[in-house]
Amino acid sequence: MKFESYRREYTAGGLTRDTLDASPLHQFEQWLEQAVNAGLSDPTAMSLATRDADGNLWQRIVLLKGISKGGFVFYTNYRSNKAKAIAADPRVSLLFPWNELDRQVIVAGVAEKMSMTESARYFLSRPRESQIAAWASRQSRPVPARAALEAEMSRLKAQFAAGEVPVPDFWGGFRIVPQRVEFWQGGEHRLHDRFVYTRVEEEGWAVEQLQP
Neighbour count for residue 35 (Cβ, 10 Å): 19
- Residue 190 annotated as catalytic: yes
Dihedral sign (CA 74, 76, 82, 85): positive
Dihedral sign (CA 133, 134, 136, 137): positive
Distance CA 96, CA 42 (A): 10
At 210, the amino acid letter reads L
Q: How far is CA 84 from the centre of its chain?
A: 17
Q: How far is CA 163 from the centre of its chain?
A: 31
Report the SS3 class of residue 174: strand
Query: Which residue is catalytic, options 17, 190, 194, 199?
Result: 190
From the CA atom positions of the chain, what is the Rg in Å? 20
Catalytic positions: 190
